[in-house]
Structure 1
Amino acid sequence: MYKDFTQWALSTDDNWTGLVLRLTLGLVLFPHVAQKLFGWFDGPGLRGEMHYMTTKAGLPAFVAITAITIECLGAFLLLAGAGTRFAAVAVFCLFMGMILVVHSSNGFFMNWFGKVPSGTEGFEYHLLVLGICIAIMIQGGGKYSIDKLLNGYSHNL
């Protein structure tokens, strides 16, 4: 059973679809990760993000740390194609939480025209992330993924 689960978790075809999906999601998440961890791209940095998540979003510190870790680790795992399905599940859960806790009360649309205060975005972007995560869960990491390499190795065991 363990071998079957591992093979499923790492299984992927040598296709471009998985590669395009995981690189798209990983590359879109990376600037947000850089903002949260390092303060790049006018981001708050880790201290500022923790402050926002624990005060304005009202999350316990442990949940805030977990959310930041999932987003950061998930982006890097997706880019590498390592544990791709697990990363997609984790990011999916994270973004469902974002919708439920923060963004659902702001409506569907992002703040495209600056008509609402900053930080009150809707959840349309989050739905796109959820869709990509579902496709990755089905498809796997695709071409040039570490999963593909490991799955080939596990077949030889």
Structure 2
Amino acid sequence: MELLNQIFSTSSSWAATVARLTVGLIMLPHGMQKIFGLYGGEGFSRTMRRFTNDMQYPSIIAFLIIFFEFFGAIGLIVGFASRIMAFGIIILMIGAIVEVHRHHGYFLNWHNTKEGEGMQFNLLMIGAALVVIILGSGNLSVDGILNF
């Protein structure tokens, strides 16, 4: 029961609520690209194939990327198991920095002058997700209703 209390306990902080909703709402469209093919995405099968064949990720890693981008975002939006979901997003962002964005430097590609985006966005998402890990889900959350 103590472990559940640590995972689901939350503060009544509006800052936590804002951080949780920000990360969830930003991440959800990325998950929708990977699950449903919306917003120019590939959908689940093609994304899995790209991750496992082209990028050589193990199937479980490819699945977890898709899971946390979609279900992790939904969990954050409703405030369910937000610490776990935020941790998953942090791992995703670290992976994105290591695998893709560090090769393009620090800054975002505001002027479309380089091949890809730098790691600035990923670092911002890590910071916001850390707020959720520290404070919990905040107000208006399932975690707050469960009140372990």
AA aligned opposite 2:71: L
The within-5 A match list for 1:1-20 is 3-20=1-18
* Residues 41-97 of structure 1: per-residue CA shift (max 9 Å, x gap): 122222332343234433233321221112212101101100011111111112111
Secondary structure of 1:121's counterpart equals coil
| 1:61 matched to 2:62 | no
- Show the counterpart of 2:91: 93
Q: How many residues align?
A: 148
Provide the TM-score with structure 1 as the length reference. Answer: 0.85
Confirm or deny: 8 A CA contact 2:13 2:135 kept in the other structure. no
Unaligned stretches of 5+ in structure 2?
none
Secondary structure of 2:40's counterpart equals coil
TM superposition shift of 1:121 = 2.0
Change (3 A) 1:27 1:150: same
2:31 aligned to 3, 24, 33, which one? Answer: 33
1:149 aligned to 136, 140, 145, which one? Answer: 145
TM superposition shift of 1:129 = 0.7
Change (3 A) 1:108 1:57: farther
* Residues 124-156 of structure 1: per-residue CA shift (max 9 Å, x gap): 1100110011111011001111111111xx3xx
- Show the counterpart of 1:121: 117
Distance 2:17 2:96 in 1: 25
2:106 aligned to 99, 105, 108, which one? Answer: 108
**Greater mean deviation of Cα atoms: 25-34 or 105-114:** 105-114
Spell out structure 1 runs of 4+ moving beyond 4 A.
none
* Residues 10-69 of structure 1: per-residue CA shift (max 9 Å, x gap): 221223111111111111011111111112112222233234323443323332122111
- Show the counterpart of 2:43: 45
- Percent sequence identity over matched residues? 34
Unaligned stretches of 5+ in structure 1?
none
Distance 1:16 1:47 in 2: 38
